[in-house]
Structure 1
Amino acid sequence: MSTGLRLVIFDVDGTLVDSQGDIIAAMTLAFEAVGLPVPERNAILGIVGLSLDVAMARLAPDADHLRMVAAYKDAYIALRAQTGAAQSSPLYPGARETLARLNAQPDTLLGVATGKSKRGLDKLIEAHDLEGLFVTQQVADFHPSKPHPSMILQAMTDAGTEPAGTVMIGDTSFDMEMAAAAGVHGFGVSWGYHPISALRAARKVVTDFDDLEAALDDHWRAFP
């Protein structure tokens, strides 16, 4: 039986915040740590959203992935310490306002499903004063990498919602494929790290946060 609740799950990097500067810099240092040439920018951005071990395996199949992951994490922490999370991973225009408006709706719950670690997500939420917004926070520490549906399935369990009342918002093909695997609708965003052409599994692709709110309103009318 339907609970009447709606759950909107957000990806983080490339969807809520633009962290590509630190991601590329940290990945550069990770490749230098094992003496390998650094991949092109688009190749690095193409793996954003995957768990780090899976991302490293895709970018450098024959490398020492454990060493690369450790080097990446150390570099990312150091880079973030230099400027602070709010500056190095700024919210996209309209993100904060949209989150606040959705959170104010009595039947709408918010969640996060990200390839970040719990520590990284906690620091980002604290830096942007987003505490208390997300009733469920799914991170790479406790799940298989996207596009496995585990994060969304656990988020729905936490929130007490059903697939028909759940939407996944993300910028990558991994997010949209994860949504499809979990049996929920996925909305792609155009401002992130994967081209729109890669978001083939998306029900809809939106161009800004105002467009996202309108798309959600239309969706809930079609799937009350």
Structure 2
Amino acid sequence: MSSRRFDLIAFDWDGTLFDSTGLIVRCIQAACQDLGVAVPSDTQAAYVIGLNLQEALQHAAPGLPAARYPELGNRYRHHYFARQHEIVLFPGTLDMLQALKARNHLLAVATGKARRGLDQALAQSQLGPLFDGSRTADETAGKPDPRMLHELMREFGVDPSRTLMIGDTTHDLALAANAGTPSVGVSYGAHEPAAFEAYGPLFVAHSTRELHDWLLDNA
């Protein structure tokens, strides 16, 4: 216990634990097409992953009148919930989480998803029992505002230096920087890892296996 570096490890969800980036991109594009607005490129749509839905859609469809964003959000949810059964864990994710729990780390989720969406995902994946806590963008503040990490650290009485944030986007790493916690990036999600350097992650993993090994050696 005394040699453990981090007591609390917070994970982003989409693109970090779940291989959902491609589906989210396609659903954003389909929603824009439904409303007859310019369809964002794959890169543009992937950039907004990790933000809360309202902010993400504003970035993805900047030409849409503000009054129509709820309509765009409804179309996105329509497409996403119709296909969310296609989403799977990245290979090795379950083993990694179980290994961390066996070492008595506190595990949490810090996500741009809404609470309804995260609860559904936790239930369908049967990962709920592995996590000690979670925060979603609709119940606190969206990334990169540090509030969700601040709330998790207060809940468990853990200092920033003993907390690690792991994510696949610059929004995740900016969240960690704003909360004063170390971070680790993963390159297999939504954002290109070259953009991570500005946020000083301790490590950038290129597979779940690399992340697993690094955490067992360094966390």
Could you list the per-position Cα deviations for residues 144-194 of structure 1 after superposition, in whole angstroms to 9, with x for gaps in the alignment? 221111111111122221111100000100000000000000100111110
Distance across 2 between alignment mates of 1:196 and 1:76: 26
Could you list the per-position Cα deviations for residues 120-161 of structure 1 after superposition, in whole angstroms to 9, with x for gaps in the alignment? 111211122112111111112112221111111111122221
Could you list the per-position Cα deviations for residues 18-47 of structure 1 after superposition, in whole angstroms to 9, with x for gaps in the alignment? 113431232123112321121111111111
- Show the counterpart of 1:198: 195
- Show the counterpart of 2:71: 67
Larger mean CA deviation between 24-33 and 91-100 belongs to 24-33
In structure 1, runs of 5+ residues without a counterpart are: none
SS of the equivalent of 2:8 reads strand
- Show the counterpart of 1:90: 88
- Show the counterpart of 1:56: 57
Larger mean CA deviation between 95-104 and 71-80 belongs to 71-80
Q: Does 1:77 align with 2:76?
A: no
Note closer, same or farther for the CA distance 1:185–1:60 as it changes in structure 2 (3 Å cut): same
Contact 1:135 1:159 in 2 (8 A): no
Distance across 1 between alignment mates of 2:76 and 2:130: 29
Distance across 2 between alignment mates of 1:47 and 1:117: 15
Quote the sequence identity (%).
36
Any residues of structure 2 matched to 1:1-224 within 5 Å, and which?
A: 6-63=7-64, 64-80=68-84, 84=85, 88-106=86-104, 108-200=105-197, 201=199, 202-220=201-219
User: What is the total number of aligned residue pairs between the two structures?
Assistant: 211
Distance across 2 between alignment mates of 1:68 and 1:62: 12
Contact 1:39 1:59 in 2 (8 A): yes
Distance across 1 between alignment mates of 2:188 and 2:22: 15
Alpha-carbon offset, residue 217 of structure 1: 4.4
Contact 2:37 2:63 in 1 (8 A): no
SS of the equivalent of 1:103 reads helix
Amino acid of the structure 2 residue aligned with 1:196: P
- TM (norm. structure 2) is 0.89
Amino acid of the structure 2 residue aligned with 1:73: R
Alpha-carbon offset, residue 91 of structure 1: 0.5
In structure 2, runs of 5+ residues without a counterpart are: none
Could you list the per-position Cα deviations for residues 86-129 of structure 1 after superposition, in whole angstroms to 9, with x for gaps in the alignment? xx1110011110000101113x1000001111111112111221
Amino acid of the structure 2 residue aligned with 1:75: H
Alpha-carbon offset, residue 218 of structure 1: 4.7
